[in-house]
């Protein structure tokens, strides 16, 4: 089995790389946080620099915080990456950066795949992530065993760049739904409605969405605002989405308003909380009791 390089051991990258190790893949790993690297060494991964990975690995995976870091890392190692090797970026980044990196890799004879991750960190912990993959048929077949070791649902969205763009569409709906849910439940609180009965009604109509029915009862409505997906990340993704939409000449008026709402939450110290905390933020601003389900 060939050795895989994995760069980026944050809240998503660490469990994803851990699952690769547990499924028998040989990994070289790198992160600026040495504690994260040491955790991976416990499951038999080996620490390495990105340049060392470029010289020895057939596949290098990146799972990094933003477009700039992904660009700098990939372009930094590309001169040393061997022809025929493959770089798979799993970060959520600007699709125009994805396009540029794919072009630069092609000039070097290096394959490129974008495979951003869906679902939450808790799903990554359990090896239940969802992947949106932009790749040629040949490269999709090449990376599929890795994806199957890290997740349960894999969508081949089309050629390079379609994975990243699909992720932005998905996250747009998820994040904007979070904001509309927050506004709706804050209004219900102001009206003095029973939360359980209100949710029962919503669950039986077309107003329902996955955030409200699946995620929120175990997160903010249970008083848990520990991050699965933070307010900071939601704000960052909405910024990416709006910039990509502007480049494509698509107006996003609701998205722009939602981004500013998340910025308000950040300004009030909620940046590292789960993005479902938006309902608490609105209730704080309006002087309303926060909605909580009964035990």
Q: Tens digits of per-residue pLDDT, 55-114?
A: 999 999 999 999 999 999 999 999 999 999 999 999 999 999 999 999 999 999 999 999
**Closest C-alpha among 128, 125, 56, 129 to residue 92:** 129
Active-site residues: which are they? 167
Compute the average pLDDT of residues 109-125: 92
The DSSP annotation for 247-275 comes to HTT---HHHHHHHHHHHHHHHTT-TTSBG
Q: Residue 261's pLDDT is what? A: 98
Q: How confident is the model at residue 119 (pLDDT cuts 50, 70, 90)?
A: confident
- Residue 292's φ and ψ, nearest 5 degrees, are -140, 135
- For the chain, list the domains and their CATH numbers: 3-160 (3.40.50.720), 165-286 (1.10.1040.10)
């Amino acid at each position: 089995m060939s050795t895989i390089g994995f760069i980026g051991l944050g809240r998503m990258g660490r469990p994803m790389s851990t699952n690769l190790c547990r499924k028998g893949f040989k990994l070289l790993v790198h992160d600026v946080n040495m504690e994260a690297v040491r955790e991976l060494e416990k499951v038999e991964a080996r620490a390495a620099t990105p340049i060392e990975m470029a010289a020895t690995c057939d596949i290098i995976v990146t799972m990094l915080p933003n477009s700039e870091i992904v660009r700098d890392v990939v372009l930094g190692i590309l001169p040393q990456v061997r022809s025929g090797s493959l770089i798979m970026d799993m970060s959520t980044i600007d699709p125009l950066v994805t396009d540029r990196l794919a072009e630069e890799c092609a000039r070097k004879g290096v394959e490129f795949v974008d495979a951003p991750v869906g679902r939450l960190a808790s799903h990554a912990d359990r090896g239940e992530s969802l992947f949106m993959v932009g790749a040629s048929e040949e490269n999709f077949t090449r990376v599929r065993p890795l994806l199957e070791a890290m997740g349960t649902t894999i969508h081949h969205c089309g050629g390079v760049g379609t994975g990243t763009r699909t992720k932005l569409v998905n996250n747009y709906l998820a994040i904007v739904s979070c904001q509309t849910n927050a506004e709706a439940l804050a209004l219900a609180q102001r009206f003095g409605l029973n939360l359980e009965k209100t949710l029962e009604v919503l669950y039986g109509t077309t107003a329902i969405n996955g955030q409200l029915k699946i995620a929120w009862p175990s997160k903010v409505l249970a008083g848990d605002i520990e991050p699965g997906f933070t307010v900071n990340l939601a704000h960052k993704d909405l910024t990416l989405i709006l910039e990509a939409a502007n480049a494509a000449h698509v107006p996003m008026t609701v998205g722009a308003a939602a981004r500013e709402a998340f910025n308000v939450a950040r300004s009030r110290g909620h940046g590292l909380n789960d993005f479902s905390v938006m309902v608490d933020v609105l209730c704080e601003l309006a002087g309303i009791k926060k909605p909580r389900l009964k035990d």
